[in-house]
C-alpha cells in the first residue's frame, strides 16, 4: 500500500466528509471547556476507537487545550461512533474521519497521536508517528514482543518526542501514596509482591472462515502481521487470544499489576523467569493461556509472583485483581485507588480510602480515572513536565510480561541478564524475542 498521499486533496475531502453524521443537537454543541484560558492548543489523532480508544476520546475531550482533530479506524462504523462521541464529549467541531491513520500523519499541524490499536500495531504505528514528528500516547503494552519494545525505546531516543504508555494506574493518587509508604519503609524491607487478575471470560468457540464485512478494512487491520484468513470469532476483541495479533492476558491486563509490583519493589530486570499454565477452562480457538502463573526472581532477595485466571473470577484478598506487597514488618494491599496496611500480627494499621467517589472497576483499565494520565502527557509536551510513564522505563514492566509468555511457550525457566533483560544461553527462546512480519510492513527506525 502506498504511503504517498496528496495532502491538499485529502484535507479538502476530510473537511467536507466529516459532516456525514447529520445535524448535531444543541445539547452537544456547547463546549464548557472553551471558556478556559488556553496557553496552547494541541491537535491529536485518536487511532483505534472500538474499545479502549473510546475512553481516550472521553479523557482527551476533558483537557482544555486539546483538540481531537482526527478519529482513525479501519472500521467505518467505529469511525462514525468515534466522531459522534467526540462531539458529545465536548469537541467544538467534529474531528475528521480517517480510515488509514497514515493520512492523518501527513498533517503538519497535527501534534500527537493516541494509539489504541491491537497489540500487533502498537510499535509499528508509534514508529510511523514518531517519524512524522508526532508525540505518542500509546496504549499498553506498546509492543507485541520484546524486540519491538527495544525498538520503540530506541525510537523514543532518536526522535526526541514525548512517548507515554497507558498504564494510568501510575497517575492514581492513592497508588502514588501507597508507593511512598512502601519506599519510606512503612513495612520494612519489601521483598515480595504478588500480582493477579481474574475474569469470567466466555468461550470464543471455533471460528468459521467468512467474508470480510463491508465495514472493515481487514488488510489494513492486519497491517504488519503475517496474513491469515478472516474468521467470524476474531474481531473486535478475541484477537487478544491469538499469538499472531495478541499477547494473552498477562500482557493484556497483567502489565498493569506487574508494573505496580516492579515499582513497589524498586527492581528493574529479573535474573530468572518461569511461567506455566494452559488453556484449561474451555476447548476452542483460544491459543494463549487462560490460566497462568509466572514467577520472577530478582537480585537483592526479591521476587514477584503473577497469577492470571481469565475464566475463573474468584478473588484474592477481596479483589478481582490487584497487588500485595510483603515486607519485614507487614503487608500493603493495593486496592483500586485505595490501600490497606497490616502489621505482621495481621492487625490493620492504616486504611486509605479512595480519593474520589467515582467507582473504579479494578478489572478494567480504570476508565473513569484516565484524565490525569493524559494531562501529564499533554503537559510534558507543553511545558516539559516529567512523564509519569515514559516508555523507556515502563518497557521494563512490559518485558516481564513478554518473558512470562516466552517461558510458557518454551516450557522452561529462563535465565536473564539483569542488566539488559535479555535471555541468556537459550537460542530457542530467543527465536520468540521478535516476530515475522508481512513483507513490506517491517517496522524500522
Mean pLDDT of 114-139: 98
- What's the pLDDT score for residue 25? 31
- Distance (Å, rounded) from C-alpha 381 to C-alpha 134? 10
- Distance (Å, rounded) from C-alpha 305 to C-alpha 21? 49
Paired sense of beta strands 321-327 and 330-335, if any: antiparallel
- Distance (Å, rounded) from C-alpha 304 to C-alpha 383? 36
- What's the pLDDT score for residue 39? 57
Mean pLDDT of 211-235: 97
Of 29 and 269, the one with more pLDDT = 269
- What's the pLDDT score for residue 33? 39
Among candidate residues 69, 46, 72, 43, the one with its CA nearest the CA of residue 59:
46
Torsions phi, psi for 224 (to 5 deg): -75, -10
Q: What is the DSSP letter of 185?
A: T
Q: Which residues contact 165 (CB under 8 A, 6 or more apart)?
A: 138, 139, 140, 141, 142, 389, 391, 394, 398
* Single pTM value for the model: 0.88
- What's the pLDDT score for residue 356? 59
Express each pLDDT in 388-408 by its tens digit.
999 999 999 999 999 999 999
- What's the pLDDT score for residue 353? 86
Residue 20 reports pLDDT greater than 90: no
281: left (phi over 0), alpha (psi -120 to 50) or beta: alpha
Beta bridge pairs of residue 162: none
- What's the pLDDT score for residue 70? 98
Domains of the chain: 25-168 (3.40.50.720), 171-367+388-430 (3.30.360.10)
Query: In this structure, what C-alpha cell is assigned to residue 398?
Result: 512490559
Of 35 and 378, the one with more pLDDT = 378
Question: How does the average pLDDT of the chain come out, rounded?
Answer: 89
Amino acid at each position: 500500500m502506498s504511503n504517498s498521499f496528496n495532502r491538499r486533496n485529502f484535507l479538502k475531502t476530510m473537511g467536507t466528509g466529516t459532516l456525514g453524521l447529520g445535524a448535531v443537537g444543541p445539547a452537544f454543541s456547547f463546549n464548557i471547556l472553551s471558556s478556559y484560558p488556553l496557553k496552547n492548543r494541541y491537535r491529536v489523532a485518536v487511532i483505534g476507537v472500538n474499545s479502549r480508544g473510546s475512553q481516550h476520546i472521553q479523557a482527551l475531550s476533558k483537557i482544555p487545550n486539546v483538540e481531537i482533530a482526527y478519529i482513525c479506524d479501519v472500521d467505518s462504523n467505529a469511525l462514525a461512533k468515534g466522531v459522534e462521541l467526540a462531539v458529545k464529549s465536548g469537541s467544538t467541531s467534529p474531528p475528521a474521519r480517517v480510515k488509514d491513520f497514515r493520512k492523518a500523519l501527513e498533517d503538519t499541524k497535527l501534534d500527537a497521536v493516541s494509539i489504541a490499536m491491537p497489540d500487533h500495531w502498537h510499535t509499528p504505528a508509534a514508529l510511523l508517528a514518531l517519524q512524522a514528528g508526532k508525540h505518542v500516547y500509546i496504549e499498553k503494552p506498546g509492543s507485541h514482543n520484546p524486540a519491538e519494545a527495544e525498538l520503540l525505546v530506541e525510537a523514543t531516543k532518536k526522535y526526541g518526542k514525548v512517548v507515554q504508555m497507558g498504564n494510568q494506574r501510575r497517575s492514581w493518587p492513592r497508588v502514588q501514596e501507597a508507593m511512598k509508604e512502601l519506599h519510606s519503609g512503612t513495612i520494612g524491607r519489601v521483598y515480595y509482591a504478588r500480582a493477579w487478575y481474574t475474569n469470567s471470560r466466555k468461550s470464543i468457540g471455533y471460528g468459521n472462515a467468512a467474508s470480510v464485512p463491508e465495514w472493515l478494512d481487514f488488510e489494513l487491520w492486519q497491517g504488519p502481521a503475517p496474513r491469515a484468513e478472516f474468521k467470524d470469532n476474531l474481531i473486535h476483541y478475541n484477537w487478544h487470544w491469538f499469538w499472531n495479533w495478541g499477547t494473552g492476558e498477562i500482557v493484556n491486563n497483567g502489565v498493569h499489576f506487574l508494573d505496580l509490583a516492579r515499582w513497589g519493589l524498586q527492581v528493574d530486570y529479573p535474573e530468572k523467569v518461569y511461567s506455566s499454565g494452559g488453556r484449561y477452562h474451555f476447548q476452542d480457538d483460544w491459543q494463549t493461556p487462560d490460566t497462568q502463573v509466572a514467577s520472577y526472581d530478582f537480585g537483592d532477595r526479591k521476587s514477584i509472583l503473577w497469577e492470571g485466571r481469565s475464566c475463573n473470577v474468584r478473588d484474592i484478598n477481596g479483589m478481582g485483581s490487584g497487588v500485595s506487597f510483603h515486607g519485614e514488618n507487614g503487608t500493603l494491599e493495593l486496592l483500586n485507588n485505595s490501600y490497606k496496611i497490616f502489621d505482621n500480627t495481621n492487625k490493620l494499621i492504616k486504611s486509605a480510602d479512595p480519593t474520589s467517589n467515582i467507582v473504579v472497576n479494578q478489572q478494567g483499565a480504570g476508565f473513569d480515572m484516565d484524565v490525569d494520565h493524559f494531562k501529564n502527557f499533554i503537559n510534558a509536551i507543553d511545558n516539559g513536565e516529567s512523564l509519569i510513564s515514559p516508555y523507556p522505563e515502563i518497557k521494563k514492566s512490559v518485558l516481564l510480561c513478554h518473558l512470562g509468555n516466552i517461558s510458557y511457550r518454551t516450557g522452561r525457566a529462563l535465565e536473564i541478564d539483569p542488566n539488559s533483560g535479555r535471555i541468556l544461553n537459550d537460542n530457542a527462546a530467543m527465536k520468540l524475542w521478535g516476530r515475522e512480519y508481512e513483507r513490506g510492513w517491517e517496522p524500522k527506525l
